[in-house]
Amino acid sequence: MHFLADADLRLDAGPIDYALLAVYFALVLGIGAMARRSVSSSLDFFLSGRSLPAWVTGLAFISANLGAVEIFGMTANGAQYGLPTMHYYWIGAIPAMVFLGLVMMPFYYGSKVRSVPEFLLRRFGKFAHLTNGISFALAQVLIAGVNLFALATVVNLLLGWPLWLSVVVAAVIVLAYTSLGGLSAAVYNEVMQFFVIVAMLLPLTFLGLKRVGGWQGLVDKVAGTTGSSAADQLSSWPGTNLTGIGNATLSVLGIVFGLGFVLSFGYWTTNFAEVQRAMSAKSMSAARRTPLIGAYPKTLIALIIIIPGMIAAVIVPELREMKAGAENGVTYNNAILLLIRDLLPNGMLGIAITGLLAAFMAGMAANVSSFNTVFTYDIWQAYIVKDKPDDYYLRVGRVATVAGCVVAIGTAFIASSFNNIMDYLQTLFGFFNAPLFATFILGMFWKRMTPLAGGLGLIFGTASAVTVDLLNRAEVLDLAGQGASFVAASVAFVVDIAVSVGVSLVTKPKPESELRGLVWSLTPRDQLRHDDTGENSGWYRKPVVLGAGVLALTVVLNIVFW
């Protein structure tokens, strides 16, 4: 990526902007220090003592994902592809979040496991557990690298520090508050960051729309600058430009099955960096509401992320030239920074810079805090040093946090070699999350699935996604856009299911008595129910009502932006 060298990209920050930034960091570190006082056991450190209210975990749930992916990637997608990008939210997130809250959360929270791999341990035993523990830890440090790299590029742009120094300084700040306060500090910062990022995106959207002459003005300008492909940019379906699949029917299928089902359900329901936020809620009811409460802002934030991206493509001169085919060193990844440069005066500029830095730090902190949990509980405690007192594992968690940050500095340089962060991330999700989701869903609903099938399914699923990616890179397959990662994820899902079913039929399943609470058909219905009295009472706190509400909202938005 070339955000850097180009002097035109430098944001013109003044003393006031730096002061606003400093206020935020003072608060962040303060929270870390305050949270430290309330950390006295490993459960406090890794799951906030399971004490957080639902609105906090709900906002943290989406903020953990609102890092580099969203801010750079989705404005870039908005600038490049236009409205089809909405699918990443309305097809690619909301249904899965509702499914997590309504169907899967009772198993996670109810079984009192501390991590997603631990659920696999209970369901399938050690082989699947270790496989997933290692692949998850690996995925998290790779993704932390992406966030760290994006963060460093902003610091580099802003202060002109060299990239390596920006990477190291950014890593040290994340390290400071996550190793002090554990998950509580990470979660609190995520919620603060959510509000700051909204305070940045709202004025960008309104000022941008005002500049282009309202929604109709934007439509006219997009039509004027993109000519024959304007129709693709301005309607969300069938999204052929996004998937790179020419045939409209296949493109819709790719979006619905590849993105909407496999990638999205895989990501939102099994990615521990997300699920950990719900697990830290204070009751089963709050845990179920976590993804559902998060789904509402998630639905709406799409508008103030993607529309600014589209606006950037028509009002920022460099982007307009680039979209018309000129080679001027600007990429779509620069969309949000260019728009900030062109619209916000000092003052709001400081808020915007704070929002961006906070988002990337929160993204990285989410990866690091889930990495240290899985590393400590699922690798170190389970296989390397067993049966030590709790404070030993608390210390291991802190050391793992340091190690995670150090490794992320290395993986940040891997991320720097990719042109489009979003392509890289979707590729990683295809490798790690798609097979995991297949294993989960089969294991949760099919009691016959055996321990060996759990482990082998994961290995073959990941291997097949990697194969598709390599074939595409070697140009044996020809998929442009993000279609390649949709296909890789779909293949991984299908292969995982096929291998799991095949292996299950020839190996011996676990006895039914050990699967209670882990498999749908063997779990007594009342064990999945939660307390709906007291603070959990009221129709508006019913998970089904919340879930149905957000699905209805999504349908309406899909129709409006058809």
Please state the separation of Cα 439 from the chain's center in Å: 20
Closer residue to another protein (CB): 54 or 167 = 54
Distance in angstroms (rounded) separating the CA atoms of residues 493 and 501: 12
Min dist. Cβ of residue 46 to another protein (A): 12
Q: Which of 188, 261, 267, 332 touches another protein by CB under 8 A? A: 188
Min dist. Cβ of residue 499 to another protein (A): 42
* Binding flag, residue 54, another protein (CB under 8 A): yes
Q: What is the DSSP letter of 334?
A: G
Closer residue to another protein (CB): 86 or 394 = 394
Min dist. Cβ of residue 221 to another protein (A): 14
Instruction: Tell me the backbone φ, ψ of residue 65, rounded to 5 degrees.
Output: -100, -10
* Binding flag, residue 49, another protein (CB under 8 A): yes
* Binding flag, residue 210, another protein (CB under 8 A): yes
Closer residue to another protein (CB): 52 or 488 = 52
Instruction: Choose the binding region for another protein from 94-102, 163-171, 338-346, 392-400 (rule: CB under 8 A).
Output: 338-346
Q: Are 86 and 302 in contact (CB under 8 A)?
A: yes
Q: Which of residues 282-321 bind another protein (CB under 8 A)?
A: 282-283, 286
Distance in angstroms (rounded) separating the CA atoms of residues 182 and 36: 8
Q: Which of 27, 172, 480, 505 touches another protein by CB under 8 A? A: 27
* Binding flag, residue 343, another protein (CB under 8 A): yes
Q: Which of 36, 211, 395, 447 touches another protein by CB under 8 A? A: 211
Min dist. Cβ of residue 188 to another protein (A): 6
Q: What is the DSSP letter of 517?
A: T
Q: Is the dihedral of CA 467, 470, 476, 478 positive or negative?
A: positive
Instruction: Choose the binding region for another protein from 23-31, 407-415, 447-455, 481-489 (rule: CB under 8 A).
Output: 23-31
SS3 281: strand
* Binding flag, residue 207, another protein (CB under 8 A): yes
Distance in angstroms (rounded) separating the CA atoms of residues 379 and 417: 30
Q: How far is CA 209 from CA 84, 244, 306, in A?
A: 19, 29, 12
Distance in angstroms (rounded) separating the CA atoms of residues 90 and 78: 14
Q: What is the DSSP letter of 52?
A: B
Nearest to 364 by CA among 147, 169, 196: 147
Closer residue to another protein (CB): 388 or 448 = 388
* Binding flag, residue 50, another protein (CB under 8 A): yes
Q: What string marks each residue from 379 to 418 as x (binds another protein by CB under 8 A) or -? A: -----------x----------------------------
Closer residue to another protein (CB): 55 or 257 = 55
Closer residue to another protein (CB): 351 or 409 = 351
Please state the separation of Cα 523 from the chain's center in Å: 30
Closer residue to another protein (CB): 545 or 552 = 545
Closer residue to another protein (CB): 41 or 521 = 41
Distance in angstroms (rounded) separating the CA atoms of residues 360 and 63: 10
Q: Which of 69, 191, 305, 338 touches another protein by CB under 8 A? A: 191
* Binding flag, residue 511, another protein (CB under 8 A): no
> CA angle, 54 as apex, 52 and 58 as ends, to 5°?
105
Q: Are 276 and 370 in contact (CB under 8 A)?
A: yes
Token code pair at residue 521 = 């058909």
State the angle between helix axes of 451-473 and 483-506 in degrees (0 to 180), rounded to the nearest 10.
150
Instruction: Choose the binding region for another protein from 70-78, 124-132, 183-191, 409-417 (rule: CB under 8 A).
Output: 183-191
CB burial class (10 A; 0-12, 13-18, 19+) of residue 257? middle
Closer residue to another protein (CB): 206 or 215 = 206
Q: Are 497 and 507 in contact (CB under 8 A)?
A: no
Return the C-alpha torsion angle 514, 518, 519, 525, nearest 10: 110
Min dist. Cβ of residue 195 to another protein (A): 6
Return residues touching another protein (CB under 8 A): 16, 19-20, 23-24, 27, 31, 34-35, 38, 40-41, 43-44, 48-56, 184, 188, 191-192, 195-196, 199, 202-203, 206-207, 210-211, 282-283, 286, 342-348, 351, 390, 534-535
